[in-house]
A and B are shown apart, each in its own frame.
Chain A
């Protein structure tokens, strides 16, 4: 047997969708977390209620790398339908656990094989009602893995206690099965693989959460007052979390409510309601995914032009219509950037982890109300629905920024010298009143038609032009208010990497591998907002090569950067790939290696110099970057 491998491997469990394995999988994840070992858990599930194969993957990493890996050392097969595929997916030297009622040949000799008498163990406990046997049966692999890997049985009990919210009956039933399975394994299985877990102290002070829950709670700490939504995977749990946490976190002595959550008839109505509420002065939001966003487009343009603050959470998935509704993506970026009728520029926030989902939950309202415009927060399925380790949520350090909103007293002081779209402060942001203001001077008419500084109807060409120029100025102002990027630097770096969102874990791991195995030292800048702040340009300037890593086909972040910084376009190299799976360090690394050195540094510098000299923005019109972008690592990003 090979030497011991401790706290550094991946587990994947193949089950039947709807068989109730999520309790078992979360129990393993939480138990490992409780042991102080860095972990992450990802549900790779089909669009189906019951019956289709589904997988849950757990990454155990002493070094704190939490991205999905393409290889699995430990495979648990509970589903006859995916048995052969699961067996084939074990890396040589790995371990294969399977329910022994699956009568299929185990043909491999290069791995350790452990049959588990799932049905027998469950049947032997008279306290388990027969209709619960399949459900509790999943606990058998928890117990067997605990015994064979060395998971502390007390942490499993703690995890079950948390999961069942202290309810003794289900805790006892499940825990007894775990214990029985562990005892069976101890008596009957001989350890033939090298994988072990041992307690560490690397999760101390950390929490475990999914991005949708974090976003909902963040929104509540941001003082959310109105949400309208329509069910869509993978965004539904965000709105459902609002309903779960609002009653407790915003409880009042008089029992009355300071908020409303409305399930709308469709996404058009959801954003329409949110815009109505934002217009009337509420902290208002909606949450959706790609197909829902498509429906919201007309309203998004109207809200931009009428300058109404709303927050739209887009938990990205892949494709149109149903597409791959349970798979992750970052493919909405350029769509949202221009979302509307033409000549729109939307503000986008890009949280990169669960902690930032919480933070941007409240901050998005501040930006929206300050800027009086929609703010889109782009999360994705991987971040939104999977469990991530995270720093604890932090209470907002600044009071709520309600922006330039004026009431009766202010209007009195202004003596009528107020226009809804008047740029009094020179920052493009006008002052606004909201319905319910009792001053006879407060009202104005909101319209998609052309309007002047006093919100009066106008089709005059100069009036339209002036207004659009002010909106552009406002967008410039936004650069001061959106979150700045986060820099992960490496001493002696010669190239740059730019990414955003949930790929952070994979890029950080790839950054480490590139330095350790390929002697390529890279600084990594994680962009957190569009418009880009000045730090982004300063970063690009430093390197001859900057790799733009993202989970889509066309390299959309690369496109936006090229438009914004045409003089540096030659340095930007798109490493884009989208197949619905969460990013792995392997495809980031191989994607970068495939593009590394494809342009001679001197040529890039020369091109930039020429472009800069020729008054860049005019000359260097953004070209279709997508066309020359080859999907990176097509073979490297292996699917199971």
Chain B
């Protein structure tokens, strides 16, 4: 495979996959300047670069909306499918059967996943498709110029739309209710945490829901709004510092291993996520705790961020199907078409 070499005169870093960060980039963004989505795209690039992921082993998916445009802004060397509004989950579910060794990265929004695509969202969650499912959550429809989404809080006022009267949908709560195996929430203004959660999500075997509050600078950024930068900065309540440690990076692991302070979650690929609790001894393997913390946050008007829940024991969708070791899309006649003698056996059954 061709590797991109650093240009003369530059000091471009090369990762263990032999790639420079540029190999992870996409087309220039066409979103608004200052949009939280751009910062998330940048963290996806950084996370994959730092994890030495080969871009050809990743497939990108999205639905429709501002968020769903962003897969073109990272990983030019990965296949991508920008599907229908709210239907990213079904396309991804089928596509990842083509080669079960590929990792999916889906980028959706609150309109795409919590309104038109709520059904497909919940079903991809319960099927545990091997994919990172990012919801860039801003409580508003940007591309159609500022209508309420299903995650908008009651009382939110928008130009032209008036005041929102409906109760909001909590994406993490919906994911947990659908038996998600990985649920995390972050805030686009906290790029460090976004990146670390992305790394944890990428290491998860199964569906990882990442609800990232990503303020809309154009249509929903009043200082009082839940999905605004100012509100987010003031109300963010990180559950814990989270550091993703790749298997080969043993030195950091040694340093961080202090009795009583850390809680480890072993990812399916053998890598470890270390959770350092700031406020309390939070156990992300307890679904009960996750629901309690979210309910508590709801009552206190907090934005809880961090890894809310993880279960590493459940098989991913393609594992449930016990597929052959070769990617399905590389199989030919010999593997796929029954032999000629089988036709007589079949005809004998037809009476």
Residues of A within 8 A of B (CB): 30, 33-34, 162, 207-209, 213, 217, 220-226, 228, 245, 249-250, 252, 254-260, 262, 264-266, 268-284, 298-299, 302, 390, 392-396, 399-400, 433-440, 442-449, 457
Asked if A281 and B350 sit within 8 Å, CB to CB, the answer is no
Binds A, one of B159-167, B213-221, B243-251, B332-340: B332-340
A272 to B123, CA, bound (A): 13
A509 to B263, CA, bound (A): 78
Asked if A264 and B90 sit within 8 Å, CB to CB, the answer is yes
Contact of B76 among A271, A396, A436, A443 (CB under 8 A): A443
Asked if A395 and B351 sit within 8 Å, CB to CB, the answer is no
A507 to B335, CA, bound (A): 41
Asked if B1 and A223 sit within 8 Å, CB to CB, the answer is no
- Residue interface bits B312-339, CB-to-A below 8 A is 1, else 0: 0000001001111101111111011110
Inter-chain contacts of B27 with A (CB < 8 A): 457
Asked if A223 and B323 sit within 8 Å, CB to CB, the answer is no
Asked if B98 and A436 sit within 8 Å, CB to CB, the answer is yes
Known A-B contacts A256-B322, A438-B56; the reply to A269 vs B89 at CB < 8 A is yes
Inter-chain contacts of B54 with A (CB < 8 A): 438
Inter-chain contacts of B318 with A (CB < 8 A): 260
Asked if B327 and A258 sit within 8 Å, CB to CB, the answer is no
Known A-B contacts A264-B90, A272-B83, A281-B98; the reply to A399 vs B333 at CB < 8 A is yes
Binds A, one of B150-158, B290-298, B299-307, B341-349: B341-349
Highest count of chain A CB atoms <10 Å: which of B72, B94, B327:
B94
Asked if B347 and A269 sit within 8 Å, CB to CB, the answer is no
A271 to B323, CA, bound (A): 21
Between A and B, 17 residue pairs with Cβ closer than 8 Å are: A209-B350, A225-B97, A226-B97, A255-B322, A257-B321, A270-B90, A272-B91, A276-B95, A280-B94, A280-B329, A282-B94, A282-B98, A302-B83, A436-B327, A443-B80, A444-B80, A447-B81
Inter-chain contacts of B204 with A (CB < 8 A): none
A439 to B92, CA, bound (A): 21
Apart from A221-B342, A228-B94, A282-B98: 9 A-B pairs, beta carbons within 8 A = A208-B351, A274-B94, A277-B97, A279-B91, A298-B87, A434-B79, A442-B79, A445-B79, A446-B79
Closest A residue to B82 by CB, please name it: A447
A390 to B321, CA, bound (A): 35
Asked if B324 and A258 sit within 8 Å, CB to CB, the answer is yes
Asked if B338 and A250 sit within 8 Å, CB to CB, the answer is yes
Residues of B within 8 A of A (CB): 1-2, 27, 54-56, 59-60, 71-72, 76-84, 87, 89-99, 101-102, 119-120, 123, 318, 321-325, 327-333, 335-338, 340, 342-343, 346-347, 350-351
Which 7 A-B pairs give the minimum distances between C-beta atoms? A280-B98, A272-B90, A276-B94, A223-B336, A436-B99, A281-B329, A273-B94
Inter-chain contacts of B79 with A (CB < 8 A): 433-435, 437, 442-446
Known A-B contacts A269-B89, A272-B83, A434-B329; the reply to A257 vs B323 at CB < 8 A is yes
**Shortest distance from the beta carbon of B30 to any chain A beta carbon, whole Å:** 9
Asked if A268 and B90 sit within 8 Å, CB to CB, the answer is yes
A563 to B171, CA, bound (A): 50
**Shortest distance from the beta carbon of A113 to any chain B beta carbon, whole Å:** 34
Closest B residue to A277 by CB, please name it: B94
Closest A residue to B120 by CB, please name it: A269
A560 to B81, CA, bound (A): 33
Contact of B120 among A265, A280, A394, A445 (CB under 8 A): A265
Asked if B336 and A276 sit within 8 Å, CB to CB, the answer is no
Asked if B94 and A436 sit within 8 Å, CB to CB, the answer is no
Inter-chain contacts of B332 with A (CB < 8 A): 400
Total cross-chain contacts (CB, 8 A):
222
Closest A residue to B124 by CB, please name it: A269
**Shortest distance from the beta carbon of B266 to any chain A beta carbon, whole Å:** 26
Contact of A225 among B60, B119, B331 (CB under 8 A): B331
Known A-B contacts A250-B338, A395-B343, A439-B1; the reply to A260 vs B97 at CB < 8 A is yes
Contact of B123 among A250, A252, A265, A282 (CB under 8 A): A265
A284 to B84, CA, bound (A): 19
A259 to B331, CA, bound (A): 10
Inter-chain contacts of B97 with A (CB < 8 A): 225-226, 260, 276-277, 280, 282
Inter-chain contacts of B335 with A (CB < 8 A): 258
A434 to B323, CA, bound (A): 19
Contact of A252 among B81, B324, B329 (CB under 8 A): B324
**Shortest distance from the beta carbon of A224 to any chain B beta carbon, whole Å:** 8
Contact of B56 among A225, A245, A442 (CB under 8 A): A442
Asked if A434 and B338 sit within 8 Å, CB to CB, the answer is no
Contact of B81 among A226, A249, A279, A298 (CB under 8 A): A279
Inter-chain contacts of A390 with B (CB < 8 A): 350
Inter-chain contacts of A270 with B (CB < 8 A): 90
Asked if A440 and B84 sit within 8 Å, CB to CB, the answer is no
Contact of B77 among A254, A258, A274, A440 (CB under 8 A): A440
A280 to B100, CA, bound (A): 11
Contact of B99 among A222, A271, A435, A445 (CB under 8 A): A435
Inter-chain contacts of B337 with A (CB < 8 A): 221-223, 396, 400
A283 to B337, CA, bound (A): 11
Inter-chain contacts of B350 with A (CB < 8 A): 207-209, 213, 390, 392-393
**Shortest distance from the beta carbon of B207 to any chain A beta carbon, whole Å:** 15
Inter-chain contacts of B71 with A (CB < 8 A): 445
Asked if B329 and A282 sit within 8 Å, CB to CB, the answer is yes
Asked if A436 and B329 sit within 8 Å, CB to CB, the answer is yes
Known A-B contacts A33-B351, A269-B120; the reply to A434 vs B98 at CB < 8 A is yes
Known A-B contacts A280-B98, A443-B79, A449-B82; the reply to A225 vs B328 at CB < 8 A is yes
Closest B residue to A362 by CB, please name it: B337
Closest A residue to B336 by CB, please name it: A223
Asked if B101 and A400 sit within 8 Å, CB to CB, the answer is no
Asked if A279 and B84 sit within 8 Å, CB to CB, the answer is no
Asked if A284 and B81 sit within 8 Å, CB to CB, the answer is no
Inter-chain contacts of A437 with B (CB < 8 A): 56, 79
**Shortest distance from the beta carbon of A559 to any chain B beta carbon, whole Å:** 29
Asked if A275 and B94 sit within 8 Å, CB to CB, the answer is yes
**Shortest distance from the beta carbon of B348 to any chain A beta carbon, whole Å:** 9
Contact of B84 among A209, A249, A281, A448 (CB under 8 A): A448
Highest count of chain A CB atoms <10 Å: which of B123, B336, B340:
B336
A302 to B90, CA, bound (A): 14
Closest B residue to A272 by CB, please name it: B90
A286 to B331, CA, bound (A): 20
Contact of A258 among B90, B102, B336, B347 (CB under 8 A): B336
Inter-chain contacts of B99 with A (CB < 8 A): 280, 435-436
Inter-chain contacts of A213 with B (CB < 8 A): 350
Inter-chain contacts of A443 with B (CB < 8 A): 55-56, 76-80
Known A-B contacts A448-B82, A449-B82; the reply to A299 vs B87 at CB < 8 A is yes
Asked if A282 and B338 sit within 8 Å, CB to CB, the answer is no
Contact of A445 among B72, B96, B322 (CB under 8 A): B72
Asked if A393 and B321 sit within 8 Å, CB to CB, the answer is no
Inter-chain contacts of B59 with A (CB < 8 A): 280, 435
**Shortest distance from the beta carbon of A97 to any chain B beta carbon, whole Å:** 26
Asked if A220 and B338 sit within 8 Å, CB to CB, the answer is yes
Asked if A225 and B336 sit within 8 Å, CB to CB, the answer is yes
Asked if A276 and B92 sit within 8 Å, CB to CB, the answer is yes
A396 to B92, CA, bound (A): 32
